[in-house]
Amino acid sequence: MNGRCTSDEHSCATCSDRADAVRIVALDGADASVEFEDGSRSTVAVDLIPGIRVGDRVLVHQGVAIAPAMGVR
């Protein structure tokens, strides 16, 4: 990252940190188990994205799903 704030679909507009595209593998209330492209898994908060379902792809930043990952490979 170049340290400048951006608003593209791959980085945070506030701090310029990268958001990672993950797949939802399980839901538990406001939390979800997600799988990263390398196969690793983590638990993230998903309460900012209404209607989320298992199988959806989302962008995760700092342990929070912040947006659907539309068109992100």
Q: Are the beta carbons of 60 and 34 closer than 8 angstroms?
A: yes
Contact 32, 52 (CB under 8 A): yes
* 8 is a domain residue: no
| Total domain count, the chain | 1
CATH of the domain at 47: 2.30.30.140
- Is residue 4 assigned to a domain? no
Query: pTM, whole model, 2 decimals?
Result: 0.73
| Per-residue pLDDT tens listing for the chain (73 residues) | 333 334 455 555 556 677 889 999 999 999 999 999 999 999 999 999 999 999 999 999 889 999 998 865 5
Range of the domain at 37: 20-68
Calpha distance 5→13 (Å, rounded): 5
